[in-house]
Amino acid sequence: MKLSKGLDKKNKIFDVALTLFSKYGFKAVTMREIAAKSSTSLGSLYIHYKSKAELYDMVLDSAYLEHAKAWRVTSDPDETLESKLYRFINNFCHFMNDNVEVAKLFKREQLDADPKRIKKLAEKVLSEEYNNLKELVIEANPACHADVTTVLIFGMALNYYETMEFRKYFPGYDDSINSPDFIAEQIFNMAIAGLKST
């Protein structure tokens, strides 16, 4: 019973920390705020986490590494290249749609542009997915610039979910086309058309 209660408390701290970090950024959030919003004493919070930086690192690891499994492409020799590319994009769109706070944290990290945290995000969190997608891009078109194309495909999906708050005010906005499957199909169609044209 105590173990379950401890896990619930830890999950609540993580959820609160993720929300605050994604909304205000690392520098603006204090341990006192995290403790208050998660109904934890400040002393108890420091027993679990020695510093805000340690908690932030754990939130990053939890938010990205734990959920990243959902959008990794596994190797299947019988699956077509186009199917693998679509599945990767579709999984990523579903991941971003289901983890809005993570999408916001991506955006916040880009805005803050702290070299240390950005480097961790790139090297320890996103590099495997980046390399998986890059391999698919190279297989689809060895003549294209694989790094640029890979970043553009990632960027299309990220940008769609990072701009959720203001794009609903664009002329002709229709909430019914916001399904991750529909968005993935549009990104895939643009990506595959671009790969075939270069």
Task: Give the tens place of pLDDT for each residue, 124-143.
Answer: 667 777 888 898 899 889 99
pLDDT band at 60 (very low <50, low <70, confident <90, very high): confident
- State the pLDDT confidence band at 71, using cuts at 50, 70 and 90: low
Instruction: Report how far apart the first and last C-alpha atoms of the chain are (Å, whole number).
Output: 60
Average pLDDT along the chain? 82
Place of tokens 């643009």: 190
- Kindly tell me if the per-residue pLDDT of 63 is higher than 70: no
The whole-number pLDDT of residue 2 equals 46
Q: Using one digit for the tens of pLDDT, what is the confidence trace for 74-109?
A: 667 788 889 888 988 888 888 888 877 777 777 777
pTM: 0.75
Query: Following CA atoms 167, 172, 175, 176 in sequence, which dihedral angle do they give, to the nearest 10 degrees?
Result: -140
pLDDT at position 168 is 83
**Which bin fits 41, alpha (ψ -120 to 50), beta or left (φ > 0)?**
beta
| Predicted pLDDT of residue 32 | 94
How far lies 118's CA from each of 40, 89, 110, in Å? 29, 22, 7
pLDDT digits (tens, 9 = 90+) for 152-193: 988 888 888 878 778 888 888 888 888 899 999 999 999 988
CB atoms within 10 A of CB 49: 20
- For residue 153 the two structure tokens come to 């495909």
Whether 3 has a pLDDT exceeding 50, the answer reads no
